[in-house]
Amino acid sequence: DSIGKHLVPLAHASEPIKIVFACWEGPEGSHGRTVGQWAKELEKRSGGRVKVEVAYGGAMGPTPEHYHLAATGVADAAEVGLPFTPGQFPMSEVMDMPINGRGLKAEDLSVVFYKLYEKGYLKQDFKDVVVLWVSAINPYDFQMRNVPVRRVEDLKGKKIRVTGKIHTEIAKLLGAIPVGMPGTEIYGALEKGITDGVFTDWSAVWTFRYEKLIKYVTETHFGCMGFAFVMNKAKYERLPRDIQQIIAEMRPKYARLDGRNDDETAEMGKKLALDAGVQIIRLSEAEMERFSACLAPLWQKWIAEGEKRGLPRKKMLEDLYDILKGMGVKVPFIGYTP
């Protein structure tokens, strides 16, 4: 009997540590794929001591609740689309701002976002969780049902589906009427004419399959959306030190990989649209200048709001400007020069 008593803790100790990862995308989504790859690599590198269970397709709750699932420990880790939790990530909002993405892909923008993370600018945003990696998606365009957007004026009074508060502001400054809705509702909204267009990237076309409902895409290529993949702090602190180390080592690799996965999805989305006969409109430099003039107040307001709250947004934008210049972007921001 006493032998049995001694064996119980040993048997218990050899059970793998379970990590429940809440993911609102399916396993085929850009980020769903990355989460699956991360899970496999962590399991392998831990020598099987860790087992990651991914709850795909929002099985643990609606998209906007995913940050709180991880922060409160309902899930051990979660995929977070940052604009879906408004006000929670005041520094990370920078990825929603009209950054010039011409010539850049999601992989580049993910590396840029990761550099801001490394420089410590996002510390306050994620003080209640542990960051597994951050990433960004492709720059945003206006995908229109039947109105070609060649000039700013063409957006006047048009109903545009947007994500989050910054893109709501962008739509308003360009004279459009912002309409908020989850991606799953884009198809129906375009079909019924509830919206005249969508401000998003090419990967959304692949994910939500509305290529036959749009006729024109104006490649404005500015602004995108930041993502963070986070772990509950208490859960992380309970992990063995060497497993924490493995997670930290994987961080930069997965920032880049997540962007690359979105690039693959975006390529497929663009191909779907072109095959469906969608016409791509590229704006002249002169017209981009006019977009810049419209968007200038957004930058001023965002910086001023940050200063009032003691957030180093201005300093971050100086660093971000230099990072983008170093990547060959001639005009890093649409509507602002530090």
Percent share of the chain, pLDDT over 70: 96
* CA separation for the pair 261, 279 (Å, rounded): 25
- The pLDDT score that the predictor gives to residue 183 is 86
Q: Which residues contact 5 (CB under 8 A, 6 or more apart)?
A: none
Cβ–Cβ contacts within 10 Å for residue 267, how many? Answer: 15
Ranges under pLDDT 50 in the chain: 1-11
Kind and range of the H or E run holding 326 = helix 313-326
Cβ–Cβ contacts within 10 Å for residue 281, how many? Answer: 17
Which residue has 């960004």 as its token pair?
136
* CA separation for the pair 200, 178 (Å, rounded): 13
* CA separation for the pair 54, 57 (Å, rounded): 10
- The pLDDT score that the predictor gives to residue 13 is 57
CB 176 within 8 A of CB 152: no
List domains and CATH numbers for the chain: 12-138+224-268 (3.40.190.170), 141-223+272-306 (3.40.190.170)
* CA separation for the pair 65, 318 (Å, rounded): 32
Give the relative orientation of helices 313-326 and 285-308 as an angle to the nearest 10 degrees: 150
Q: Is 80 helix (H, G, I), strand (E, B) or coil?
A: strand
Residue 19: C-alpha distances to residues 52, 68, 268 (Å): 5, 16, 32
What the block records as the tokens of 179 is 């309409």
* CA separation for the pair 84, 264 (Å, rounded): 23
Q: What is the pTM of this model?
A: 0.93
Kind and range of the H or E run holding 224 = none
